[in-house]
Amino acid sequence: MSENTISTSRPRVLSGMRPTGKLHLGNYMGALANWVKLQDQYECYFFIADWHALTTDYADTSQIVPNIKDVLLDYLAAGLDPEKSVLFLQSKVLQHAELTLLLGMITPLGWLERVPSYKEQQENLSSKDLSSIGFLGYPLMQAADILIYQPQFVPVGHDQAAHVELTREVARRFNNFYKLGGEEVLPEPQVLLTPSPKLPGTDGRKMSKSYGNTISMTDPEPVVRQKLKTMVTDPARVRRTDPGDPDKCPVGDLHKVFSASEMLVNVYEGCRTAGIGCIQCKGWAADALVQVLAPIQERRASYTEAQVAEILEDGSSRARARAELTMVEVRAAMQIGPQETDKN
Ligand code: SF4
């Protein structure tokens, strides 16, 4: 598709992920599976936020490039289709940096300091010095990432809905100061709440790379089965003869997300009557996971390195064209260069 063929008939959505390496089932169920569904209804922009990787991992950048490739492959493996969605890399669209800088001029420091994750992450990642301007400013860069595509919606789960609020506030402030021909330039995007089922990791906590409890989208079958074997269960089920409760068991949570309803009946019945053992139950859960992962892994293997590079180039070029449309309006509204006439 050329840079100029940008569909405008459907509402636009935008979302992205940091290149943290291979994605896991929590990323898949919490975001990617929903993004895949959105592709037919919306004009979708999905990006890899490589500049955001620097906000916490600025000292060692050696993994960013390989991680970008892995994340893009996982996007494609999940079913994102470059013919339907614009898949792009943040750093290939320099307009994000320009808008971040301009929005930084109008955003009060206090708005960023009060973002809950600012203090939380500084405490959680105490081994890193996160007292940088980049880390404080990452929600602002996020706002620029979103607003530069003038999307109607940002698909997020419940836990991230608050993040979009800052973006809306920044847009409101910009629109109060600057207008173009009396019109607002940066529409306030709405949250598009997407279902994100509870997906525990192998230790029972939320599946997260930082806890080391993930099942990756790329894990081969024996690894999935091994990880399931070590997964924690209902603590009340100490002996094989003790009845348990799938509602208090992380393995039960996996069944609820991935198993068919007939299987769920067997799990509830077998667990509550001690009719099945946890090993058997975990085997069933592993069967369900392997079934979900097989087509994903097959799709991943079908892409060559050259195709991946081309998809990212093409998507980034389309994203640049769209971002520049916004920047032309932003610069004109702010009466700041480079103006169109400066380029001649
Ligand atoms: S039988 Fe299944 S649901 Fe019940 S405690 Fe064991 S692993 Fe969990």
**pTM for this predicted structure:** 0.92
State percent of the chain over pLDDT 90.
Answer: 81
Whether residue 6 is predicted with pLDDT greater than 70 in this model: the reply is no
Whether residue 65 is predicted with pLDDT greater than 90 in this model: the reply is yes
Model confidence pLDDT, tens digit, residues 166-219: 999 999 999 999 999 999 999 999 999 988 887 999 999 999 888 899 999 999
Rounded to the nearest angstrom, the distance between the alpha carbon of 276 and the centre of ligand 1 is: 8
- Closest listed residue to residue 299, CA positions, set 221, 218, 216: 218
How far CA 63 is from CA of 18, 53, 56, 125, 218, in Å, comes to 12, 10, 13, 18, 18
Residue with CA closest to ligand 1 atom 3: 246
- Say yes or no: CB of residue 252 within 6 Å of ligand 1: yes
Structure tokens belonging to residue 68: 């970008």
Model confidence pLDDT, tens digit, residues 68-101: 999 999 999 999 999 999 999 999 999 999 999 9
Helix/strand/coil percent split, the chain, to 5 = 55, 10, 35
Ligand 1 pocket: which of 232, 245, 281, 287 to mutate (most atoms <8 Å of CB)? 281
Structure tokens belonging to residue 84: 């339907």
Whether residue 141 is predicted with pLDDT greater than 60 in this model: the reply is yes
State percent of the chain over pLDDT 70.
Answer: 96
Tokens 């569909």 locate to 7
Whether residue 246 is predicted with pLDDT greater than 50 in this model: the reply is yes
- Say yes or no: CB of residue 204 within 6 Å of ligand 1: no
How far CA 71 is from CA of 1, 88, 150, 312, in Å, comes to 22, 11, 24, 11
Instruction: Please list, in sequence order, all residues whose beta carbon lies within 8 angstroms of the beta carbon of residue 118, skipping any fewer than 6 positions away.
Output: 112, 135, 136, 139
